[in-house]
Amino acid sequence: MRDLPRFTAAAVQSAPVYLDPAATVDKAVTLIGEAAAHGARLIVFPEVFVPGYPYWNWTMNPVQGSPWFERLWHASIEVPGPYVDTLREAARQHAVTVVIGVNERVSHSLGVLYNTLLTLGPEGDLLGVHRKLVPTWAEKLTWTGGDGSSLQVHQTPVGPLGVLACGENTNTLARFSLLAQGELVHASAYIALPVAPDDYDMADAIAVRTAAHSFEGKVFSVVACSTISPEIVDTIAGDDQDARRMLARPRSALSGVFGPDGRPVTDPLIDDEGIVYADIDLNRCIQPKQMHDIVGHYNRFDVFRLHVDTTPRPPVTFVTDQHDAAVEGDAPSMEES
């Protein structure tokens, strides 16, 4: 009889060393070591942990925020690159699978930054580079959207692993595309969002989204959210008392692990820094799938059909001969049902 993986997962709830990629990567390496020492084999970090989230998009107008975009560009990292190599070595040294969010800059444009999730394997390999498909609301002032080429489930020692960033976890089709590739472990990375509308509870919103995906897909979800440090408040708000009060709003972060029944495996962590540990047994996904398998018997593929285009979308394609032109015209796509 084939048993599915059993392991300990760690959801890291922490603040970056704001806009300092070197110090933040060092902090991540320390947290990887701490989680691994507690037996974790999967360690999930927050969205854009390296080197932080552009809160100025919410507290300033676009003209005021423009110099901050430049500052973030200088603090963003290349993928691959030396900071990624440091994180890969930490994963290899501790033999763990790591998911971590970064601000990624690219060589072809000074105006392009990506909200990127890296998936690192226990041998130090870079398994996945997922660029957030649609920046949410004010985030469009900072990030360019990714393409479908990174919407992949990776085979890892902890099971088939998929990742999405923050608001992507409200995108039903993106979530379904991962489930249809056999996802059993879902890593979702968030940022603390105290700048939301008054009637919006970020902690509740994270819990609802995470429970929904776990229950609908009969999977385990590991959700990691950043926190707001005094350093972030001082950097962004300065003497602006309204902004300081906004950034100090409670219930802006939640991290934890949810099971295939949609319930937390252990108590989530709200607002405070820390690491949530939980034991995961993927065999617990089997019996719930017998009841509701939305990528199998509990669907009507003669009625519903999802087409996912995984073609990479570079800004330019140079065609050098007729053979290349023919190949270009036959760009591959993935169809998920």
The set of catalytic residues is 47, 132, 166
Q: Which helix (H) or strand (E) holds 72?
A: helix 62-75
The pair of structure tokens assigned to 12 is 């890291």
Q: Coil, strand, or helix at residue 140?
A: helix
Q: What Cα–Cα distance (Å) separates residue 286 from each residue in 60, 168, 186, 220, 281?
A: 49, 26, 16, 12, 10
Residue (of 124, 117, 129) closest to 95 by Cα position: 124
29 burial type by CB count under 10 A (0-12 exposed, 13-18 middle, 19+ buried)? middle
Report which residue type is found at 73.
Answer: W
Taking the C-alpha atoms of residue 247 and residue 234, their distance in angstroms, rounded to an integer, is 10
Name, in order, each residue with C-beta under 8 angstroms of 172's C-beta and a sequence gap of 6 or more. Answer: none
Please answer whether residues 145 and 135 qualify as being in contact, where contact means their C-beta atoms are separated by less than 8 angstroms.
yes
Complete edge-to-edge strand list for the sheet that includes strand 220-225: 154-156, 159-165, 185-190, 220-225, 254-258, 269-270
Q: What Cα–Cα distance (Å) separates residue 320 from each residue in 169, 323, 327, 330?
A: 40, 8, 11, 16
287-291, long-range: CB within 8 Å, 24+ apart, which pairs? 288/218, 288/260, 288/261, 289/218
